[in-house]
């Protein structure tokens, strides 16, 4: 369904996977930046972009790792910890600008959604792009203690956070920090807990953690939220 495209970022270009709704007319589909887990731009995240396209969104996955991908947790952890968050932020902003300029996308704002590492980056997305006004983070991880987001840019913007039980639910300290920062900045934020779930419960390539019922519920909430917020 999708294709590899290039967009301007970091003074050069970044590749990404672009999925568009079948038969979409110009100026009808909201744009959404879909942000990878720590594995890279693997088939699962491309399939997730396809699912967003099937729901009427123009979805773009930026390739932060520039072609590197893995199925090994140790290697994925090294890639995540070595990620330059400032450069990733510019990739997110560049992806949002690319989506905004496409004829298919609505003339309004752009959304974001991410999973695990990408969930954390998705929640940072409104702080790095004026285009991104609504975002949804699934079981977010933010293992970059030296990065200082400009939370004040959340004023008038909105976020959802989908929390697994294994990660401590929405009561976890990291989640509460983000909730407080967004609310203090004047943004809107809502959290959802999914009882009995493991981290990565929406990843259907990982049967040991995947929970179809909760994944479907979280995605349905995200699609409804983004349609409403980006109309």
The 10s digit of each residue's pLDDT in 85-144 is 999 999 999 999 999 999 999 878 999 999 999 999 999 999 999 999 999 999 999 888
In order of their start, the domains of the chain are 3-230 (3.40.50.1820)
Helix (H, G, I), strand (E, B) or coil at 4: strand
Confidence band for 146, pLDDT divided at 50, 70 and 90: confident
The 10s digit of each residue's pLDDT in 4-57 is 999 999 889 999 999 999 998 999 999 999 999 999 999 999 999 999 999 999
Nearest to 125 by CA among 226, 134, 117: 134
Helix (H, G, I), strand (E, B) or coil at 132: strand
| 209 CB-contact burial (10 Å; exposed 0-12 / middle 13-18 / buried 19+) | middle
Amino acid 1: pLDDT: 67
Task: Round the CA-based radius of gyration of the chain to a whole number and report it.
Answer: 16
Region for 56 from its dihedrals, namely left if φ exceeds 0, alpha if ψ lies in -120 to 50, beta otherwise = left
Phi, psi of 102 (to 5 degrees): -70, 140
Tell me how far apart the alpha carbons of residues 19 and 57 are, in angstroms, rounded to a whole number: 8
DSSP category for residue 131: S
Amino acid 38: pLDDT: 97
The 10s digit of each residue's pLDDT in 175-225 is 999 999 999 999 999 999 999 999 999 999 999 999 999 999 999 999 999
Query: What DSSP line would sit under 27-88, residue for residue?
Result: T-B-EEEEE--TT-S-HHHHHHHHHHHHTT-EEEEE-TTTT---S-HHHHHHHHHT--HHHH
Amino acid 187: pLDDT: 98
The token pair at 109 is 């704002």
The 10s digit of each residue's pLDDT in 60-95 is 999 999 999 999 999 999 999 999 999 999 999 999
């Amino acid at each position: 369904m999708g294709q590899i495209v290039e967009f301007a970022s970091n003074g050069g270009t970044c590749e990404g996977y672009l999925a568009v709704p079948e038969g979409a007319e110009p100026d009808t589909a909201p744009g959404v930046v879909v942000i990878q887990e720590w594995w890279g731009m693997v088939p699962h995240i491309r399939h997730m972009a396809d699912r967003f396209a099937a729901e009427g969104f123009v979805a773009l996955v930026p390739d932060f790792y520039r072609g590197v991908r893995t199925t090994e947790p140790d290697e994925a952890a090294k890639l995540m910890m070595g990620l330059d968050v400032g450069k990733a932020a510019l990739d997110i902003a560049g992806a949002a600008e690319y989506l905004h300029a496409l004829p298919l996308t609505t003339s309004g704002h752009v959304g974001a959604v991410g999973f695990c590492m990408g969930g954390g980056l998705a929640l940072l997305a409104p702080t790095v792009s004026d285009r991104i006004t609504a975002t949804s983070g699934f079981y977010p991880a933010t293992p970059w203690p030296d990065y200082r987001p400009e939370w004040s840019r959340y004023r008038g913007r909105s976020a959802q956070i989908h929390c697994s039980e294994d990660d401590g639910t929405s009561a976890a300290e990291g989640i509460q920090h983000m909730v407080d920062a967004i609310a203090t900045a004047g943004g809107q934020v809502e959290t959802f807990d999914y009882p009995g779930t493991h981290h990565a419960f929406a990843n259907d390539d990982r049967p040991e953690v995947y929970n179809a019922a909760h994944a479907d519920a979280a995605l349905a909430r995200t699609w409804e939220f983004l349609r409403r917020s980006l109309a």
